[in-house]
Amino acid sequence: MALGNQGPVELYGAEMGVTPRWMVALSLCIGFGLIFFLGMVGGVMKAAQGDIVHLSAATFYALLTLHGAGMIATVVVLTAVAHWHFLRRLLNLRVEVLVFSVLAIVWGLLAAAAAILVGGFGPGWTFLYPLPFIGNTWPVWSTGLFFFGVLFVGIGFAIFCIDLLASIIREYGILNGLALDTIFPGLRRADGKVAPPTVIAATMVAIDGLLTAAAGTVLVIALLAHWAMPAFPVDPLWIKNLTYFFGHTIANLTIYLSAGVIYAVLPHYTGRPWHTNKIYAISWTTSLLFVPWAWPHHLYMDFVQAPWLQIFGEASTYIATIPAAVVTIFGALLLVYRSDMRWRIGSTFFMAGLLGWLVGGVAAMIDATIPFNDVLHNTLWVPAHFHTYLLGGVFLFVIGFASYFAGDDAPTPPWAKVFEWLFFIGMIGFLAMFYAGGIEGVPRREAVQPAPGPLLAMIGTVFAGVLLVGMTGLLIEIFRRGRRNGASRESDAT
Amino acid sequence: MTAIERRWPILVGLAVALIVFDPLLTGPVSPPLLVHHIEHSLILLLAGLLGIAYARSHPRRYGDPTALLGVILLASLSVLLMLPDIYSGVDAYPILHALLHLGFALTGYFGGYLAERYSPRAGTVWTMLVVMMGVITASGFGSPPPHL
Ligand code: HEM
Ligand SMILES: [Cu+2]
């Protein structure tokens, strides 16, 4: 079982001259650069919907595709790197593998971006079959290039997950990686070592991530085959199921990667350790088992889909989401309650992100409930809820991590507080406009929206601008600190 | 080591050989897509087990990153080999069909071997994933929607 008991395993030692700290810093810079650019793209889209700027329909849909695909791939990199930073010591991870996987993902992202920006590829980041093949506004090569890009993103993520899982097996074994030894005494190790919560989260992500990457590989190869040989038939329903298995799950896993970061980072701010217990083992094992089954909630409108899958998908959505979210949010509150929490940029963003996760999660489950979905399907409610937990959750965790990584010991200076406020006010207003549009039934993914869409989008653009200004200020402050502290911590990785 | 532990690789090897050369016995027929993909997945599974066994029987140095790249490429190759447009052409020629099966066997063997060389138990994980991918392709690769 747990191979960790057998003592250290001999590893290849030769590093490529890249220090872990340098690699994490580089990935953060690339990631935040992309987020900044893609956030501007999002603002331009809102402005177009609000009739502030004019975009041709083809340009709008290309930008929509770029923003969606780019943001998802970027937060995958950012959350994976942040979690890796804490797992490296615990699991003896090697930086070369991180280099491979970040390179593959970024390379895939660039290929997809070229297909979109040069070729005008624009069927949306979910590239639903058969749209990529019948859209006449983009050339055939751009379709193929985009899928090659997606393939590389999947491969990069697979490399990350395989290495993670292999290391967990070496150090703990899969069952003890999930801390199941807290429930089954027979599994207990002689040295009494139990996996910390951040490793539990990593075990779940590594396994579900590999399933996702495997399904994604099959999907993309089928699409590439159809692209190269149009006579090669594919079943649209099968493709749609696989697409959401891949797309939904990989986006979802960024939240679980973030949870792993929270477990490792909050103790730093509260001065209290975050312990593993049975409840973590049970809830994370539950999430591990059910997260891969939540995807059918994207297919409620597909009448040909087997009814049992619809019901099972609905149930799985609840079972997958609730336990890990509840234990993490409660655990965090307990950790913070009556501690001398140091309120820095990092801790503020982590706590705010937990709120975003909670609100967005509730809004998501409303949408995943069939009678509500009948009304909310494909309205702005959908971008409303996922921006709440991606922008207002995952992204806040990533900013929090960057701030921690750059050195978060000094209190936040007043001018940075101003940017913090701008960021949060802009974000809340921006999200509120999405929710308002959803309640009014404004459809999502439309270059031109029916009323009151344009009015809400106009207000939303102003808030998006405020958000972006706040974000820029904060990122500059974090970058400045990172440069100042970087030299003195060159050899250290904590 | 018990006799079973020592001998199972031989038995598995025989089973792989049997499936690989099966087209020579049955002649130029192509089984239904579903059955055919399951058959190919079975070759991957058994050959993967052999690769793992071989890797385990040797003193190991873990963690060679190039092994990881090989593992990823071989996994993608196994899916490519599942494309009906690639393999249906060979069904009419038993020798070519057997060679294709040999391709699956080699992919499975080296994938399992390299993954296990990369890290203990990674070979098992790799083999399970590749079989899963084979099974996924069985339900949708190359099948037009029923109503078309
Ligand atoms: C920085 C501020 C951001 C702005 C101004 C923004 C703006 C937008 C807009 C206007 C849309 C189109 C909604 C529609 O009409 O259907 C959209 C869609 C989307 N956004 Fe954002 N967004 C931001 C941040 C993010 C972040 C951080 C993520 C993910 C981590 C994200 C992921 C997505 C995705 C996946 C879509 C769906 C694309 C599609 O429907 O195909 N966004 N965003
Ligand atoms: Cu065959």
Is the residue at B144 inside a domain? Answer: no
The pLDDT score that the predictor gives to residue A17 is 67
Higher pLDDT residue, B31 or A240? Answer: A240
The pLDDT score that the predictor gives to residue A365 is 87
Nearest-Cα distance to chain B for A449, in Å, is: 33
For ligand 1, atom 40: residue with the closest CA: A445
pLDDT of residue A302 exceeding 60 = yes
Higher pLDDT residue, B33 or A441? Answer: A441
* Residue B39 three-state SS: helix
pLDDT of residue B129 exceeding 90 = yes
Closest-lying ligand to the alpha carbon of A475?
Answer: 1
Nearest-Cα distance to chain A for B15, in Å, is: 26
- Across residues A225-238, what is the average pLDDT? 87
pLDDT tens per residue, range A131-148:
999 867 899 999 999 999
Q: For A239, which residue in chain B has the nearest alpha carbon?
A: B140
Which domain, by its residues, includes B130?
Answer: 3-138
Angle at A261 between CA A258 and CA A265, to 5 degrees: 140
User: Would you kindly state where each structural domain of chain A is located, as residue ranges?
Assistant: 21-365
Report the residue among A46, A59, A71 best suited for mutation to probe ligand 1: largest number of ligand atoms under 8 A from its CB.
A71
Percent of chain A surpassing pLDDT 90: 69
DSSP label at residue B31? -
Amino acid at B104: F
Confirm or reject contact between B120 and chain A (CB < 8 A). yes
- Across residues A449-462, what is the average pLDDT? 96
Are the C-beta atoms of A303 and A235 separated by less than 8 Å? no
Nearest-Cα distance to chain B for A173, in Å, is: 9
Confirm or reject contact between A18 and chain B (CB < 8 A). no
Predicted confidence band of residue B31 (pLDDT cuts 50, 70, 90): confident
Least confident of A86-90, A335-339, A490-494, B80-84: A490-494
Confirm or reject contact between B38 and chain A (CB < 8 A). no
Query: Rg of the Cα trace of chain B?
Result: 16
Which residue in the set A211, A225, A238 is minimally distant from B85, CB to CB? A225
* Residue B139 three-state SS: coil
Predicted confidence band of residue B90 (pLDDT cuts 50, 70, 90): confident
The pLDDT score that the predictor gives to residue A341 is 82
* Residue B83 three-state SS: coil
**Is the bond preceding A452 in cis, omega lying within 30 degrees of 0?**
yes
The pLDDT score that the predictor gives to residue A491 is 44
The pLDDT score that the predictor gives to residue A12 is 46
pLDDT of residue B1 exceeding 80 = no
Residue A446 CA: nearest ligand 1 atom is: 15
For ligand 1, atom 36: residue with the closest CA: A68
pLDDT of residue A280 exceeding 80 = yes
For ligand 1, atom 33: residue with the closest CA: A68
Is the residue at B110 inside a domain? Answer: yes
pLDDT of residue A455 exceeding 60 = yes
Tokens 């009323």 correspond to A451
The pLDDT score that the predictor gives to residue A396 is 97
Beta-carbon separation of B80 and A221 below 8 A = yes
Confirm or reject contact between A11 and chain B (CB < 8 A). yes
Please, which residues have CB within 8 angstroms of residue A489's CB and are 6 or more apart in sequence? A21, A407
Q: Is ligand 1 within 6 A of the CB of residue A31? A: no
Could you write out the three-class secondary structure of chain A? CCHHHHCCCCECCCCCCCCHHHHHHHHHHHHHHHHHHHHHHHHHHHHHHCCCCCCCHHHHHHHHHHHHHHHHHHHHHHHHHHHHHHHHHHHCCCHHHHHHHHHHHHHHHHHHHHHHHCCCCCCCCCCCCCHHHHCCCCCHHHHHHHHHHHHHHHHHHHHHHHHHHHHHHHHCCHHHHCCHHHCCHHHCCCCCCCCCHHHHHHHHHHHHHHHHHHHHHHHHHHHHHHHHCCCCCCCHHHHHHHHHHHHHHHHHHHHHHHHHHHHHHHHHHHCCCCCCCHHHHHHHHHHHHHHHHCHHHHCCCCCCCCHHHHHHHHHHHHHHHHHHHHHHHHHHHHHHCCCCCCCCHHHHHHHHHHHHHHHHHHHHHHHCCHHHHHHHCCECHHHHHHHHHHHHHHHHHHHHHHHHHHCCCCCCCHHHHHHHHHHHHHHHHHHHHHHHHHHCCCECCCCCCCCCHHHHHHHHHHHHHHHHHHHHHHHHHHHHHHHHHHHHHCCCCC
Is the residue at B147 inside a domain? Answer: no
Are the C-beta atoms of B110 and B70 separated by less than 8 Å? yes
The pLDDT score that the predictor gives to residue B145 is 55
The pLDDT score that the predictor gives to residue B3 is 67
Other C-beta atoms closer than 10 Å to the C-beta of A186 total 7
- Across residues A403-420, what is the average pLDDT? 89
pLDDT tens per residue, range A354-392:
999 999 989 888 888 888 888 888 999 999 999 999 999
> Which of B33, B60, B83, B116 should we substitute to test contact with A (largest number of A Cβ atoms within 10 Å)?
B83
Q: How far is the CA of A364 from the centre of ligand 1 (A)?
A: 15
Class of domain A21-365: mainly alpha
pLDDT of residue A401 exceeding 60 = yes
Nearest-Cα distance to chain B for A161, in Å, is: 11
Confirm or reject contact between A236 and chain B (CB < 8 A). yes
Residues of B in contact with A233 (CB under 8 A): 142-144, 148
Averaged confidence pLDDT in chain B: 85
**Which among B79, B143, B85, B59 has a CA at the least distance from the CA of A9?**
B59
Report the residue among A387, A427, A434 best suited for mutation to probe ligand 1: largest number of ligand atoms under 8 A from its CB.
A387
Predicted confidence band of residue B147 (pLDDT cuts 50, 70, 90): very low
Q: For B70, which residue in chain A has the nearest alpha carbon?
A: A159
Long-range contacts of A138-143 (CB under 8 A, 24+ apart): A138/A58, A138/A62, A140/A227, A141/A115, A142/A115, A142/A116, A142/A118, A143/A115, A143/A227
Residues of B in contact with A227 (CB under 8 A): none
pLDDT tens per residue, range A1-34:
333 333 334 444 444 567 899 999 999 999 999 9
pLDDT of residue A240 exceeding 80 = yes
Higher pLDDT residue, A303 or B140? Answer: A303
The pLDDT score that the predictor gives to residue B146 is 53
Q: Is ligand 1 within 6 A of the CB of residue A387? A: yes
Residues of A in contact with B69 (CB under 8 A): 100
pLDDT of residue B148 exceeding 80 = no
pLDDT tens per residue, range A30-53:
999 999 999 999 999 999 999 999
- Across residues A476-493, what is the average pLDDT? 72
Are the C-beta atoms of A189 and A269 separated by less than 8 Å? no
Beta-carbon separation of B140 and A234 below 8 A = yes
The pLDDT score that the predictor gives to residue A193 is 87
pLDDT of residue A493 exceeding 70 = no
Residue A460 CA: nearest ligand 1 atom is: 5
Confirm or reject contact between A1 and chain B (CB < 8 A). no
Is the residue at B143 inside a domain? Answer: no
Nearest-Cα distance to chain A for B128, in Å, is: 10
Closest-lying ligand to the alpha carbon of B32?
Answer: 2
Residues of B in contact with A165 (CB under 8 A): 122, 125
The pLDDT score that the predictor gives to residue A377 is 87
| Overall number of domains in chain B | 1
Is the residue at B146 inside a domain? Answer: no
Residues of B in contact with A151 (CB under 8 A): 76
Report the residue among A37, A60, A67 best suited for mutation to probe ligand 1: largest number of ligand atoms under 8 A from its CB.
A67
Q: Which of residues 151-190 of A touch B (CB under 8 A)?
A: 151, 155, 158-159, 162-163, 165-167, 169-170
Predicted confidence band of residue B2 (pLDDT cuts 50, 70, 90): low
Distances (CA, A) of B114 to A9, A16, A433, B41, B130: 17, 21, 52, 18, 14
Least confident of A9-23, A110-124, A149-163, A265-279: A9-23
Is the residue at B47 inside a domain? Answer: yes
Predicted confidence band of residue A287 (pLDDT cuts 50, 70, 90): very high
Are the C-beta atoms of A355 and A397 separated by less than 8 Å? no
pLDDT tens per residue, range A185-203:
888 888 888 999 999 999 9
Residue A65 CA: nearest ligand 1 atom is: 41
Averaged confidence pLDDT in chain A: 90
Nearest-Cα distance to chain B for A199, in Å, is: 18
Residue A434 CA: nearest ligand 1 atom is: 13
Confirm or reject contact between A303 and chain B (CB < 8 A). no
